[in-house]
Structure 1
Amino acid sequence: MKKQAKRIVSLVLALAMLALCALTFASCGEKDYVYVTIADEKGNIVVAYEKVYPKELTADAALSAAHEKFYEGGSDGYASAESSYGLSLTKLWGTENGGSYGYYVNNVSPNSLCDAVAVGDHIYAFVYTDLESFSDKYSYFNIKTGEASRGSTFELELTYLDYDENWNIVKKAAAGAYITIDGDRTEFVTDENGKAHVKIAEKGEYVISAESDTLTLAPAVALITVK
Protein backbone atom coordinates (compact mmCIF):
# COMPACT_ATOMS: atom_id res chain seq x y z
CA MET A 1 0.00 0.00 0.00
CA LYS A 2 2.86 2.40 0.83
CA LYS A 3 4.49 1.81 -2.57
CA GLN A 4 1.17 2.37 -4.32
CA ALA A 5 0.59 5.58 -2.38
CA LYS A 6 4.05 6.85 -3.31
CA ARG A 7 3.36 6.11 -6.97
CA ILE A 8 0.08 8.02 -6.81
CA VAL A 9 1.77 11.01 -5.15
CA SER A 10 4.54 11.00 -7.78
CA LEU A 11 1.96 10.86 -10.57
CA VAL A 12 -0.03 13.73 -9.08
CA LEU A 13 3.13 15.86 -8.74
CA ALA A 14 4.15 15.15 -12.33
CA LEU A 15 0.69 16.06 -13.62
CA ALA A 16 0.74 19.24 -11.54
CA MET A 17 4.06 20.31 -13.06
CA LEU A 18 2.77 19.63 -16.56
CA ALA A 19 -0.29 21.74 -15.82
CA LEU A 20 1.91 24.54 -14.50
CA CYS A 21 4.00 24.50 -17.67
CA ALA A 22 0.85 24.59 -19.78
CA LEU A 23 -0.36 27.65 -17.89
CA THR A 24 2.93 29.52 -18.30
CA PHE A 25 3.23 28.91 -22.05
CA ALA A 26 2.48 31.99 -24.10
CA SER A 27 2.41 32.14 -27.85
CA CYS A 28 5.01 34.43 -29.34
CA GLY A 29 4.54 36.99 -32.02
CA GLU A 30 7.09 37.55 -34.76
CA LYS A 31 8.74 40.36 -32.78
CA ASP A 32 8.91 38.58 -29.41
CA TYR A 33 12.55 37.96 -28.58
CA VAL A 34 14.88 37.14 -25.71
CA TYR A 35 18.65 37.00 -25.32
CA VAL A 36 20.51 33.75 -24.69
CA THR A 37 24.00 32.93 -23.44
CA ILE A 38 25.34 29.37 -23.25
CA ALA A 39 28.62 28.06 -21.80
CA ASP A 40 29.74 24.54 -22.75
CA GLU A 41 31.34 21.70 -20.78
CA LYS A 42 34.77 23.34 -21.05
CA GLY A 43 33.54 26.63 -19.65
CA ASN A 44 33.66 28.36 -23.02
CA ILE A 45 31.00 30.85 -24.06
CA VAL A 46 29.52 29.37 -27.23
CA VAL A 47 26.49 31.66 -27.48
CA ALA A 48 27.13 35.20 -26.28
CA TYR A 49 24.03 37.27 -25.51
CA GLU A 50 22.39 36.42 -28.83
CA LYS A 51 18.85 37.42 -29.76
CA VAL A 52 16.46 34.54 -30.52
CA TYR A 53 12.75 34.29 -31.27
CA PRO A 54 11.32 31.35 -29.29
CA LYS A 55 8.02 29.65 -30.04
CA GLU A 56 6.83 30.35 -26.50
CA LEU A 57 8.03 32.80 -23.90
CA THR A 58 9.64 30.25 -21.59
CA ALA A 59 13.24 29.51 -20.68
CA ASP A 60 12.92 26.06 -22.27
CA ALA A 61 11.70 27.42 -25.60
CA ALA A 62 14.41 30.10 -25.60
CA LEU A 63 17.22 27.58 -25.10
CA SER A 64 15.73 25.29 -27.72
CA ALA A 65 15.58 28.18 -30.20
CA ALA A 66 19.21 29.07 -29.48
CA HIS A 67 20.32 25.53 -30.29
CA GLU A 68 18.30 25.49 -33.50
CA LYS A 69 20.01 28.71 -34.56
CA PHE A 70 23.58 28.29 -33.34
CA TYR A 71 24.35 24.63 -32.56
CA GLU A 72 25.85 22.65 -35.45
CA GLY A 73 23.42 19.79 -34.88
CA GLY A 74 20.45 22.07 -34.35
CA SER A 75 17.81 20.91 -31.91
CA ASP A 76 19.65 17.60 -31.38
CA GLY A 77 22.01 19.45 -29.05
CA TYR A 78 19.28 20.28 -26.54
CA ALA A 79 16.80 18.31 -24.46
CA SER A 80 14.65 18.74 -21.37
CA ALA A 81 12.39 16.45 -19.37
CA GLU A 82 10.16 16.43 -16.34
CA SER A 83 11.85 15.64 -13.03
CA SER A 84 11.04 15.99 -9.34
CA TYR A 85 12.21 19.61 -9.71
CA GLY A 86 9.92 20.35 -12.64
CA LEU A 87 10.98 20.71 -16.26
CA SER A 88 14.77 20.29 -16.20
CA LEU A 89 17.74 20.21 -18.56
CA THR A 90 18.90 16.80 -19.77
CA LYS A 91 21.18 17.93 -22.61
CA LEU A 92 22.89 21.25 -23.25
CA TRP A 93 25.12 22.05 -26.23
CA GLY A 94 25.33 18.34 -26.98
CA THR A 95 26.43 17.37 -23.46
CA GLU A 96 24.52 14.83 -21.38
CA ASN A 97 25.94 14.53 -17.88
CA GLY A 98 23.09 13.36 -15.67
CA GLY A 99 21.60 16.77 -14.99
CA SER A 100 24.61 18.87 -13.96
CA TYR A 101 23.61 22.18 -15.49
CA GLY A 102 22.73 25.64 -14.31
CA TYR A 103 20.42 28.24 -15.79
CA TYR A 104 19.35 31.74 -14.84
CA VAL A 105 16.93 34.39 -16.06
CA ASN A 106 18.17 37.95 -15.56
CA ASN A 107 20.69 36.62 -13.00
CA VAL A 108 17.97 34.90 -10.95
CA SER A 109 17.47 31.14 -10.67
CA PRO A 110 13.95 30.21 -11.87
CA ASN A 111 11.84 27.38 -10.47
CA SER A 112 12.00 25.35 -13.67
CA LEU A 113 12.50 25.63 -17.41
CA CYS A 114 8.79 26.15 -17.95
CA ASP A 115 8.83 29.45 -16.06
CA ALA A 116 7.57 32.29 -18.20
CA VAL A 117 10.02 34.90 -19.47
CA ALA A 118 9.37 38.35 -20.88
CA VAL A 119 10.45 40.00 -24.10
CA GLY A 120 14.04 41.17 -23.75
CA ASP A 121 14.92 38.86 -20.85
CA HIS A 122 18.35 37.22 -20.71
CA ILE A 123 18.49 33.44 -20.31
CA TYR A 124 21.89 32.02 -19.36
CA ALA A 125 22.58 28.27 -19.26
CA PHE A 126 25.82 26.43 -18.58
CA VAL A 127 27.22 22.93 -18.28
CA TYR A 128 28.97 22.22 -15.00
CA THR A 129 32.71 21.82 -15.53
CA ASP A 130 33.35 20.42 -12.04
CA LEU A 131 31.50 17.11 -11.88
CA GLU A 132 33.15 16.02 -8.62
CA SER A 133 32.50 18.81 -6.11
CA PHE A 134 30.11 20.85 -8.32
CA SER A 135 31.88 24.07 -7.41
CA ASP A 136 30.80 26.04 -10.49
CA LYS A 137 29.54 29.52 -9.59
CA TYR A 138 27.29 31.59 -11.82
CA SER A 139 28.83 35.01 -12.45
CA TYR A 140 27.74 38.18 -14.21
CA PHE A 141 28.83 41.72 -14.96
CA ASN A 142 26.94 44.87 -14.03
CA ILE A 143 26.25 45.42 -17.76
CA LYS A 144 25.36 43.15 -20.67
CA THR A 145 26.23 45.54 -23.48
CA GLY A 146 28.10 48.81 -23.72
CA GLU A 147 30.18 51.17 -25.81
CA ALA A 148 33.65 52.57 -25.25
CA SER A 149 36.03 54.83 -27.10
CA ARG A 150 39.22 53.35 -28.47
CA GLY A 151 41.96 53.54 -25.87
CA SER A 152 39.66 54.82 -23.13
CA THR A 153 39.07 53.05 -19.83
CA PHE A 154 35.72 51.61 -18.83
CA GLU A 155 34.67 49.91 -15.60
CA LEU A 156 33.16 46.46 -15.14
CA GLU A 157 31.91 44.95 -11.90
CA LEU A 158 31.93 41.16 -11.55
CA THR A 159 29.61 39.33 -9.13
CA TYR A 160 29.09 35.64 -8.48
CA LEU A 161 26.35 33.74 -6.69
CA ASP A 162 27.10 31.49 -3.72
CA TYR A 163 25.25 29.92 -0.78
CA ASP A 164 25.31 30.82 2.89
CA GLU A 165 25.20 28.34 5.79
CA ASN A 166 21.42 28.03 5.37
CA TRP A 167 21.65 27.44 1.60
CA ASN A 168 20.29 30.85 0.76
CA ILE A 169 21.71 32.40 -2.41
CA VAL A 170 24.04 35.31 -1.70
CA LYS A 171 25.84 37.71 -4.02
CA LYS A 172 29.61 38.09 -3.67
CA ALA A 173 32.21 40.27 -5.34
CA ALA A 174 34.46 38.20 -7.59
CA ALA A 175 37.86 39.49 -6.51
CA GLY A 176 41.09 38.56 -8.26
CA ALA A 177 39.46 37.46 -11.51
CA TYR A 178 41.15 38.08 -14.84
CA ILE A 179 39.16 39.84 -17.54
CA THR A 180 39.18 38.04 -20.88
CA ILE A 181 38.61 39.62 -24.27
CA ASP A 182 37.35 37.29 -26.99
CA GLY A 183 38.56 34.37 -24.87
CA ASP A 184 42.07 35.68 -24.22
CA ARG A 185 43.18 36.48 -20.66
CA THR A 186 44.31 40.08 -20.11
CA GLU A 187 46.26 41.89 -17.41
CA PHE A 188 43.05 43.52 -16.13
CA VAL A 189 42.13 42.04 -12.73
CA THR A 190 39.12 42.68 -10.50
CA ASP A 191 39.75 44.31 -7.12
CA GLU A 192 38.28 43.36 -3.75
CA ASN A 193 34.95 44.84 -4.85
CA GLY A 194 34.89 42.87 -8.09
CA LYS A 195 35.67 45.97 -10.16
CA ALA A 196 38.11 46.14 -13.05
CA HIS A 197 39.14 49.00 -15.31
CA VAL A 198 39.50 47.80 -18.87
CA LYS A 199 41.02 49.40 -21.94
CA ILE A 200 40.81 48.20 -25.56
CA ALA A 201 43.04 49.80 -28.17
CA GLU A 202 41.33 48.78 -31.40
CA LYS A 203 37.87 49.45 -32.76
CA GLY A 204 35.50 46.50 -33.01
CA GLU A 205 32.98 44.35 -31.17
CA TYR A 206 34.28 42.24 -28.31
CA VAL A 207 32.99 39.51 -26.01
CA ILE A 208 34.19 40.30 -22.49
CA SER A 209 34.28 37.63 -19.79
CA ALA A 210 36.33 36.66 -16.75
CA GLU A 211 38.17 33.68 -15.31
CA SER A 212 39.59 32.96 -11.89
CA ASP A 213 42.43 30.88 -10.50
CA THR A 214 40.57 30.40 -7.20
CA LEU A 215 36.91 30.09 -8.27
CA THR A 216 35.22 27.91 -10.87
CA LEU A 217 33.16 30.56 -12.62
CA ALA A 218 30.41 30.02 -15.13
CA PRO A 219 31.72 32.84 -17.31
CA ALA A 220 30.10 36.25 -17.21
CA VAL A 221 29.39 37.91 -20.54
CA ALA A 222 29.32 41.48 -21.79
CA LEU A 223 29.35 42.70 -25.38
CA ILE A 224 31.40 45.86 -25.78
CA THR A 225 31.57 47.93 -28.94
CA VAL A 226 34.73 50.04 -29.20
CA LYS A 227 34.47 53.06 -31.50
Structure 2
Amino acid sequence: MIQLQQVERHFLLGEQSVAALAQIDLQIHAGEYVAVMGPSGSGKSTLLNVLGLLDRPDSGHYLLDGIDTAGLSEPALAELRSRSIGFVFQSFHLIPRLSARENIELPLTLAGIAPALRRQRVDELLAQLGICNRAAHKPAELSGGQRQRVAIGRAIAMSPRLLLADEPTGNLDSHSGEEVIKLLERLNREQGITLVVVTHDPRLGARASRQIRMADGIIVSDNQTAATGGTESIESPSLAGPTA
Protein backbone atom coordinates (compact mmCIF):
# COMPACT_ATOMS: atom_id res chain seq x y z
CA MET A 1 0.00 0.00 0.00
CA ILE A 2 2.80 2.41 0.97
CA GLN A 3 6.20 2.50 -0.67
CA LEU A 4 8.87 5.11 0.00
CA GLN A 5 11.92 5.10 -2.24
CA GLN A 6 14.98 7.14 -1.21
CA VAL A 7 12.81 9.85 0.32
CA GLU A 8 14.57 12.91 1.70
CA ARG A 9 13.26 16.03 3.42
CA HIS A 10 15.46 18.93 4.50
CA PHE A 11 14.76 22.05 6.55
CA LEU A 12 16.82 25.17 7.04
CA LEU A 13 18.01 25.82 10.59
CA GLY A 14 19.55 29.26 10.31
CA GLU A 15 21.87 28.88 7.35
CA GLN A 16 22.36 25.15 7.86
CA SER A 17 20.36 22.48 6.04
CA VAL A 18 19.19 19.73 8.38
CA ALA A 19 18.00 16.35 7.08
CA ALA A 20 14.67 15.53 8.73
CA LEU A 21 14.46 12.44 6.52
CA ALA A 22 17.52 10.92 4.86
CA GLN A 23 17.20 8.35 2.07
CA ILE A 24 14.19 6.57 3.60
CA ASP A 25 13.18 3.27 2.02
CA LEU A 26 10.00 1.84 3.53
CA GLN A 27 7.13 -0.46 2.64
CA ILE A 28 3.90 -0.78 4.64
CA HIS A 29 1.37 -3.35 3.49
CA ALA A 30 -2.40 -2.95 3.60
CA GLY A 31 -3.84 -3.86 6.99
CA GLU A 32 -0.62 -3.50 8.97
CA TYR A 33 -0.47 -1.96 12.45
CA VAL A 34 2.75 0.03 12.68
CA ALA A 35 4.21 2.16 15.47
CA VAL A 36 6.80 4.82 14.56
CA MET A 37 8.93 5.71 17.56
CA GLY A 38 11.90 7.90 18.37
CA PRO A 39 12.97 10.94 20.38
CA SER A 40 12.01 14.52 19.52
CA GLY A 41 13.75 15.55 16.32
CA SER A 42 14.13 11.99 15.07
CA GLY A 43 11.99 12.59 11.98
CA LYS A 44 8.93 10.61 12.97
CA SER A 45 6.47 13.53 12.64
CA THR A 46 8.02 14.55 9.31
CA LEU A 47 7.57 10.98 8.11
CA LEU A 48 3.93 11.06 9.19
CA ASN A 49 3.38 14.34 7.31
CA VAL A 50 4.88 12.83 4.16
CA LEU A 51 2.75 9.68 4.49
CA GLY A 52 -0.33 11.87 4.97
CA LEU A 53 0.45 13.98 1.87
CA LEU A 54 0.67 17.05 4.10
CA ASP A 55 4.29 17.60 3.10
CA ARG A 56 6.22 16.79 -0.06
CA PRO A 57 9.66 15.16 0.05
CA ASP A 58 12.53 17.10 -1.50
CA SER A 59 13.60 14.00 -3.41
CA GLY A 60 12.62 10.37 -3.83
CA HIS A 61 9.24 8.82 -4.49
CA TYR A 62 6.16 8.08 -2.41
CA LEU A 63 3.78 5.53 -3.93
CA LEU A 64 0.36 5.22 -2.32
CA ASP A 65 -1.70 2.32 -3.69
CA GLY A 66 0.63 2.31 -6.68
CA ILE A 67 0.18 6.03 -7.39
CA ASP A 68 3.43 8.00 -7.49
CA THR A 69 2.46 11.12 -5.60
CA ALA A 70 5.60 13.09 -6.54
CA GLY A 71 4.13 14.49 -9.73
CA LEU A 72 0.59 15.14 -8.53
CA SER A 73 -0.83 18.66 -8.43
CA GLU A 74 -2.07 20.13 -5.15
CA PRO A 75 -5.75 19.53 -6.05
CA ALA A 76 -4.95 15.93 -6.98
CA LEU A 77 -3.08 15.44 -3.70
CA ALA A 78 -6.01 16.90 -1.77
CA GLU A 79 -8.43 14.53 -3.54
CA LEU A 80 -6.23 11.49 -2.84
CA ARG A 81 -5.79 12.54 0.78
CA SER A 82 -9.54 13.03 1.27
CA ARG A 83 -10.36 9.67 -0.30
CA SER A 84 -7.63 7.49 1.19
CA ILE A 85 -6.27 8.91 4.46
CA GLY A 86 -7.68 9.72 7.89
CA PHE A 87 -5.85 11.68 10.60
CA VAL A 88 -6.06 11.55 14.39
CA PHE A 89 -4.06 14.19 16.27
CA GLN A 90 -3.01 14.60 19.90
CA SER A 91 -4.90 17.91 20.17
CA PHE A 92 -8.12 16.67 18.50
CA HIS A 93 -8.46 19.73 16.17
CA LEU A 94 -12.24 19.76 16.41
CA ILE A 95 -14.18 22.86 15.36
CA PRO A 96 -15.45 24.42 18.62
CA ARG A 97 -18.71 25.84 17.24
CA LEU A 98 -19.81 22.51 15.74
CA SER A 99 -21.46 19.68 17.63
CA ALA A 100 -19.96 16.20 17.78
CA ARG A 101 -22.31 15.12 14.99
CA GLU A 102 -21.40 18.11 12.84
CA ASN A 103 -17.67 17.59 13.35
CA ILE A 104 -17.95 13.97 12.23
CA GLU A 105 -20.16 14.97 9.31
CA LEU A 106 -17.82 17.71 8.04
CA PRO A 107 -15.67 15.63 5.62
CA LEU A 108 -18.83 14.08 4.16
CA THR A 109 -20.28 17.55 3.59
CA LEU A 110 -17.08 18.77 1.94
CA ALA A 111 -17.10 15.71 -0.31
CA GLY A 112 -20.61 16.53 -1.51
CA ILE A 113 -22.27 13.44 -0.03
CA ALA A 114 -26.09 13.68 -0.09
CA PRO A 115 -27.68 14.72 3.25
CA ALA A 116 -29.59 11.46 3.73
CA LEU A 117 -26.45 9.39 3.22
CA ARG A 118 -24.51 11.72 5.52
CA ARG A 119 -27.05 11.26 8.31
CA GLN A 120 -26.98 7.49 7.91
CA ARG A 121 -23.18 7.34 7.97
CA VAL A 122 -22.88 9.64 11.00
CA ASP A 123 -25.54 7.68 12.90
CA GLU A 124 -23.53 4.50 12.25
CA LEU A 125 -20.31 6.13 13.45
CA LEU A 126 -21.85 7.61 16.59
CA ALA A 127 -23.14 4.15 17.53
CA GLN A 128 -19.82 2.51 16.69
CA LEU A 129 -17.94 5.04 18.81
CA GLY A 130 -20.37 4.79 21.72
CA ILE A 131 -21.22 8.50 21.83
CA CYS A 132 -24.80 8.66 20.53
CA ASN A 133 -25.85 10.45 23.72
CA ARG A 134 -23.22 13.17 23.14
CA ALA A 135 -24.03 13.85 19.48
CA ALA A 136 -25.48 17.33 20.08
CA HIS A 137 -22.71 18.47 22.44
CA LYS A 138 -19.94 20.81 21.37
CA PRO A 139 -16.27 19.89 22.02
CA ALA A 140 -16.05 22.07 25.16
CA GLU A 141 -18.87 19.98 26.67
CA LEU A 142 -17.06 16.67 26.07
CA SER A 143 -14.36 14.86 28.01
CA GLY A 144 -10.94 14.34 26.43
CA GLY A 145 -11.74 10.74 25.57
CA GLN A 146 -15.06 11.72 24.00
CA ARG A 147 -13.37 14.44 21.95
CA GLN A 148 -10.84 11.94 20.64
CA ARG A 149 -13.67 9.56 19.72
CA VAL A 150 -15.30 12.37 17.74
CA ALA A 151 -11.94 13.04 16.05
CA ILE A 152 -11.67 9.36 15.15
CA GLY A 153 -15.21 9.44 13.76
CA ARG A 154 -14.30 12.39 11.58
CA ALA A 155 -11.11 10.62 10.48
CA ILE A 156 -12.92 7.49 9.31
CA ALA A 157 -16.10 9.13 7.98
CA MET A 158 -14.89 8.74 4.37
CA SER A 159 -13.85 5.10 4.99
CA PRO A 160 -10.12 5.66 4.40
CA ARG A 161 -7.77 2.74 3.90
CA LEU A 162 -4.98 4.44 5.87
CA LEU A 163 -5.31 5.95 9.36
CA LEU A 164 -2.44 8.07 10.70
CA ALA A 165 -2.44 8.79 14.44
CA ASP A 166 0.01 11.31 15.93
CA GLU A 167 0.36 10.73 19.70
CA PRO A 168 -3.39 9.87 19.88
CA THR A 169 -3.35 9.32 23.65
CA GLY A 170 -0.98 12.17 24.51
CA ASN A 171 -3.64 14.45 26.02
CA LEU A 172 -5.67 11.74 27.72
CA ASP A 173 -5.65 10.12 31.15
CA SER A 174 -4.61 6.47 31.25
CA HIS A 175 -8.18 5.08 31.23
CA SER A 176 -9.34 7.25 28.31
CA GLY A 177 -6.10 6.56 26.46
CA GLU A 178 -6.60 2.82 26.81
CA GLU A 179 -10.15 3.09 25.43
CA VAL A 180 -9.00 5.19 22.46
CA ILE A 181 -6.13 2.90 21.48
CA LYS A 182 -8.40 -0.15 21.76
CA LEU A 183 -10.84 1.59 19.41
CA LEU A 184 -8.08 2.26 16.88
CA GLU A 185 -6.91 -1.34 17.16
CA ARG A 186 -10.43 -2.60 16.59
CA LEU A 187 -10.69 -0.55 13.40
CA ASN A 188 -7.43 -2.11 12.24
CA ARG A 189 -8.44 -5.62 13.21
CA GLU A 190 -12.08 -5.69 12.15
CA GLN A 191 -12.15 -3.26 9.21
CA GLY A 192 -8.65 -3.83 7.86
CA ILE A 193 -7.65 -0.16 8.09
CA THR A 194 -3.89 0.28 7.85
CA LEU A 195 -2.91 1.93 11.14
CA VAL A 196 0.28 3.96 11.61
CA VAL A 197 0.77 5.42 15.10
CA VAL A 198 3.51 7.92 15.96
CA THR A 199 4.37 7.73 19.65
CA HIS A 200 7.16 8.32 22.15
CA ASP A 201 5.51 5.89 24.58
CA PRO A 202 7.24 2.47 24.39
CA ARG A 203 4.24 0.76 25.99
CA LEU A 204 1.95 2.03 23.24
CA GLY A 205 4.50 1.19 20.57
CA ALA A 206 4.82 -2.36 21.86
CA ARG A 207 1.14 -2.99 21.13
CA ALA A 208 1.70 -2.66 17.37
CA SER A 209 2.61 -5.66 15.26
CA ARG A 210 5.53 -3.70 13.79
CA GLN A 211 7.80 -1.15 15.45
CA ILE A 212 9.87 1.31 13.42
CA ARG A 213 12.44 3.33 15.35
CA MET A 214 13.93 6.54 14.00
CA ALA A 215 16.89 8.73 14.96
CA ASP A 216 18.42 11.69 13.12
CA GLY A 217 16.15 11.28 10.11
CA ILE A 218 16.89 7.62 9.41
CA ILE A 219 15.22 4.32 10.28
CA VAL A 220 17.52 2.60 12.78
CA SER A 221 15.38 -0.50 13.37
CA ASP A 222 12.28 -2.16 11.96
CA ASN A 223 10.91 -5.03 14.03
CA GLN A 224 8.01 -7.25 13.03
CA THR A 225 6.13 -9.12 15.74
CA ALA A 226 6.04 -12.77 14.75
CA ALA A 227 2.95 -14.97 15.12
CA THR A 228 4.63 -16.69 18.08
CA GLY A 229 4.72 -13.41 20.00
CA GLY A 230 8.41 -12.75 19.50
CA THR A 231 10.02 -10.26 17.19
CA GLU A 232 12.12 -10.67 14.11
CA SER A 233 14.48 -7.90 13.04
CA ILE A 234 14.19 -6.49 9.54
CA GLU A 235 17.33 -4.64 8.58
CA SER A 236 16.64 -1.27 7.04
CA PRO A 237 18.59 0.06 4.04
CA SER A 238 18.81 3.31 6.02
CA LEU A 239 20.52 1.61 8.97
CA ALA A 240 23.98 2.63 7.88
CA GLY A 241 22.90 6.17 7.13
CA PRO A 242 22.89 8.06 3.83
CA THR A 243 25.06 6.87 1.02
CA ALA A 244 26.50 8.89 -1.80
For this structure pair, what is the TM-score category when the shorter chain's length is used for normalisation?
A: under 0.3
- When the two structures are superposed, what TM-score results if normalisation uses the length of structure 1? 0.28
- When the two structures are superposed, what TM-score results if normalisation uses the length of structure 2? 0.27
**1 or 2, which has the higher strand percentage?**
1
